[in-house]
Structure 1
Amino acid sequence: MLNPRLTGRGAAARKYDLLTAMGAFALSQPKATQKTVLRLITLVTARYNWARDELAVGQREIARMWSVDERTVKREMAKLRGWGWLVVKRQGARGRVSEYGLDIDRILEDTRGIWAAVGPDFEYRMKGQPEPDSRVVPLPVRGEVPPPDIGKGDEWALAKAVLHAEDPSVYGSWIRALERGERAGGRLTLIAPSRFHAAYVETHLAGRVLAACQAVDDTVAQVVITA
């Protein structure tokens, strides 16, 4: 199953997968549950500390974020605790807000039934299993793959550094050759050296590439791979 420790190597892609599982689960549920999960996803995306498993936000701030009153916040947070998705790590007292953590194992267990609907590749990845017919095999790269030059400072240069750190072999075989194309709003275009290269990245690595881009620039909403 997906590693519940969402830090370290490959963490960006695992976080993206967890949020995908939560979103897909929400969309399969009645409207009230959809709204609760959407609120949690928004809260996690904006304020959750992944490294420390810490969510410490006051009810007033949450109410502003969710466009609701504090009574609704109390009710929704209680519902999330009841599901087991949120766990109280430290109760608020004397002006300090309550500190919560995510029970990722429980979230994964509750969303398991919807993984296949996202796609077989997603289901195998969430289960920590290789795809039976997977051809995601890095091409051999001679010698050590040097990290990319981040001197340009644009989102793709920084994202390439993230992808290199996660898996130098895959980076050297498939990512390094991708060049930054145009950027239109939240849409970033990457140019591959061939149609095959573009199709391979689009099929097998698109989620990882998007997650890396969003890790360095959260305004990136879509990555298009073209030749």
Structure 2
Amino acid sequence: MSTVRPLGNGAAARKYDLLTALGTMGLAATPGEQRLVLRLMVAITARYNWASDTLAVAQSELAKLWAVDERTVKRAMAEYRARGWLRLKRQAARGRVAEYGLGIERLMEDTRPVWAIVGPDFAARLTPAEPAPAPDPKIVRFPLPATEGILWPRVLQLIAESDGDTARAWLQGLGEEPGPQGVLRLVARGRYQASYVRTHLAGRLLAAARRVDPAITSVEIACETA
């Protein structure tokens, strides 16, 4: 399984995906496993550097964050390394803490069983796409539109030109439904996608829609599984 580190356009979405998958897996686990997952999530959100793929924090500081003693921290870090959730990049030395990298591929693989619990849109987005077959030179294929609708295809294209990763990850599966005058009504495939788009992308959608049609005054996001 190939997983790209969360950098560049769409990075925030991929970070949310990883933390969502971890949290869902933890909540479905036994109490001991829940604590192990929660502690890693706290370490990631508090001290992990996504740009350099580095978690560099003293065990004494982790002990305070986790409200445990340092022996518990040592056992947890050893367990993370054994599972492949953390990779040791540089040993600790006098005056320098150990540095770890995040085993994102292993984490995503281990959380795969709970993807469908979050929603079909979440699972579809994280599932690696099958490689496309080689084109037959004898067949001329005409390009299909990215999506159907009157206004939405042009809005989607406008956003994709400036942020292709976000468009592919969060917007490509949206469909357009007829709405009142001045309203662009979109339908998501699942609750998770609908919630994320409403919370994080509604402003960008409205701005792009108004560039295509100045008469648009609002964007509505519905969910087909609601």
Q: TM-score higher than 0.5 here?
A: yes
Pairing 1:31–2:44 present: no
CA contact (8 A) 1:10 1:166 kept: yes
The percentage of aligned residue pairs carrying the same residue is 46
Is contact 2:10-2:165 (8 Å) kept?
Answer: no
1:46-195 matches, within 5 Å, as 46-129=46-129, 137=147, 139-141=152-154, 166-167=163-164, 194=183
Instruction: Name the CA distance, whole Å, in 2 between partners of 1:210 and 1:55.
Output: 29
| TM-score computed with the length of structure 1 as normaliser | 0.64
Aligned residue among 181, 196, 199 for 1:207: 196
SS of 1:196's equivalent? strand
CA distance 1:68–1:212, change in 2 (3 Å): farther
Counterpart-to-counterpart distance in 2, 1:12 and 1:85: 20
Q: Report how far residue 3 of structure 1 moved.
A: 3.2
Q: Is this contact kept in 1: 2:63–2:73, CA < 8 A?
A: yes
Equivalences, count:
174
Aligned residues of 1:25 and 1:114 also touching (Cα < 8 A): yes
Q: Structure 1 residues 47, 226: CA separation in 2 closer, same or farther (over 3 Å shift)? A: same
Query: What is the CA–CA distance in structure 2 between the aligned matches of 1:34 and 1:113, rounded to whole Å?
Result: 16
Deviations 1:198-227 (A, max 9, x none): x559954532564679xxxxxxxxxxx789
In 2, distance between residues paired with 1:82 and 1:141?
A: 48
Structure exhibiting the larger radius of gyration computed from Cα positions: 2
Amino acid at match of 1:166: D
**Using the alignment, how far apart are the partners of 2:166 and 2:30 within structure 1?**
43
Q: For residue 137 of structure 1, what is the amino acid of its counterpart? A: T
- Which residue of structure 2 lines up, in the alignment, with residue 217 of structure 1? none
Q: Normalising to structure 2: TM-score of the pair? A: 0.64
Is the 8 Å Cα contact of residues 10 and 166 (structure 2) preserved in structure 1? Answer: no
Q: Which runs of 5+ in 1 are unaligned?
A: 131-135, 147-162, 175-192, 214-224
* Structure 2: stretches of 5+ with no match in the other structure: 131-145, 172-181, 203-219
- TM-superposition CA deviations, 1:119-155 (whole Å, max 9, x none): 111111011449xxxxx8382438x959xxxxxxxxx
